[in-house]
Amino acid sequence: MKIAVNQQTGGDGTTETGAGTTTTANVPASRWCRRHTAVLTVGAALSTAVACGLGATAIASAAPTHAQQAFGSSARHVVERATATLASPEVMLPAGKVGTRSQIPWGQVGSGWALAEYTKATIRRARMVTLYLIDPAGGMYSEYRWPSSKSAWNLVDWSGDKARALFTGPAAGHQVAMHQLMLATGKVVSFPLPASVQPLAYTRPSGKNMLAFDRGVVRYNLAGVFQARLTNQTAWAGYGVISSPDGMSVAVPAKTGVTLVSNANGKALQLPVPVHGGCVPVRWWNSGTLLASCIPPQTAGPQLWLVPVNGARPTALTPVRNGKGPDLGDMDAWRMDGGEYLQALGGCGTVFIGKQEPRGAVKVINVPDSSANNLVVVTTSRRMLVSERVGCMPSVSLVWFNPLTSAVQRVLTVPPSELGVISVVAYNRDASQPAFMP
């Protein structure tokens, strides 16, 4: 198999060359449901992955035009300046406090932090949308605002160098508008992509390029120039694409396990799992092991497997569920103080937090004053940032939750009539956070 790739120089893929129905709240309802439903339909993604093979086409990188080269140079300088200005006070805000961009302690930003778009809008009433940076202590920092008269961009990812957030927004013609927000300065750099391209994430570890889905996994630089096609998968929508922590490979779903595609030479390494319903990579369990959610045949929901990337035998982390509840299938897992916790599928399309007991039994972990439809966004050694949701539409709140003590710290909360959190992305330089985000 031959896969066309550019010459490689290290992580992040290549050398950096540059940096539906709409509610009155200017938040597309179809987008909201797609992002939330994606988390609940791992099985659907897996079933389509069965029909998708990794193929190779010798598609060469398109030569950048003079205008693209000039734009890429300008974007690169903006990114470099933004990264260089990440200096600020080194004390996190306490819980419940809201600060400004100038108060962000950039030296402490890292694992356990998140970006979230939040609004007090309702289905019938438009309101401003604010992008917040959330720290592990429960403090928040206002980063950017969209007035009620404009549609907020869709948050895609946060770069591993901490400096930039990636968004998609409305665009004219047959293009997708991509926006990079420089978090230290508030400056925005934009670039277009073809309409067929679905942006997925920055490359790891720093975010020098971008992975996207366009009849397979492709890579673009941050001036919108095509770099390489990594896979051919026509029936699969791009869920479960994860860069390795060093950015030298990309894990993608496979028919009988996971496929690891090298950014260095384009080779594909098959990592088989002894189930035949397909697997979706969830995140990196550690530097040498992937956590994958797989669908065993004739089962109610997914099962979690630990898949070594050196080709060693994978290990089942959770048992096959029998469909009798409360756990109908497992989507993610974390080892934290107090034990091994699961992101589990409940009835009627809900998700909940569980604790795996001896012999695979699951204990439901209830978040106090919650609707019991809870998705974990990011974890620390003791706490989880949890997305609390009510039904398929509003509202969505964020809380810090300690599953060992049941202590809850409210971060962004709204009454049921308001939309609340419309998008959230965890800081994920080492690819240890889940690929599926609300």
Q: What is the pLDDT of residues 273-287, one digit of tens each?
A: 998 778 999 999 998
CATH class of the 29-426 domain in this structure? mainly beta
Q: Quote the CA–CA distance of 51 and 236 in Å, as a whole number.
A: 8
Local structure of residue 248 (DSSP, 8 states)? S
Domains of the chain by residue range: 29-426
**Predicted pLDDT of residue 105:** 95
Q: What mean pLDDT is reported for the chain?
A: 81
pLDDT by position in tens, the chain (length 438): 333 333 344 578 654 333 333 333 444 433 433 343 333 344 443 333 333 333 333 223 334 454 455 455 555 555 555 554 555 567 899 888 999 999 999 999 999 999 999 999 998 899 999 999 999 999 999 999 999 999 999 999 999 999 999 999 987 777 899 999 999 999 999 999 999 999 999 999 999 999 999 988 999 999 999 999 998 875 566 678 899 999 999 999 988 899 999 887 778 999 999 987 789 999 999 989 999 999 888 777 899 999 999 999 999 999 999 888 799 999 999 999 989 999 999 988 889 999 999 888 999 999 998 888 999 999 999 999 999 987 655 689 999 999 999 999 999 988 888 999 999 999 999 999 876 554
Q: Which residues lie below 8 Å from residue 302, measured CB to CB, with a gap of 6+? A: 42, 43, 46, 293, 294, 295, 329, 330, 331, 345
- What tokens appear for 54 in the block? 């990794």
